[in-house]
Amino acid sequence: MESFSLNSAKSYLGKHVNLHLKDGAVVVNVKLMKVRKAIVKGNLREYVPYGNRKVAQIPLHHIAWAELLSLCLFEAAG
């Protein structure tokens, strides 16, 4: 399995996903906003948690893979 790269990160822009991290943690239901280059930490992923407006960041090399979510599940519950 390939690592989560810049190209695969760009394919999820604007979509709701679960981010599976390399340490086994999962960041649940976030919308990926953009990829930002940082000189010190490398590439950063910016995301917004569901129901929140504050942007958070995570280094790209901490992400193992992303799981795409279906928004029809959220529309039926609301």
Segment 18-55, tens digit of pLDDT: 999 999 999 988 888 888 776 666 677 777 777 777 88
CA–CA separation, 78 and 75 (whole Å): 5
Spacing of C-alpha 57 from chain mean position:
9
Q: Both tokens of residue 2?
A: 């390939």
Domains and CATH numbers, the chain: 6-77 (2.30.30.100)
pLDDT of 1: 47
Model confidence at 2, pLDDT cuts 50, 70, 90, reads low
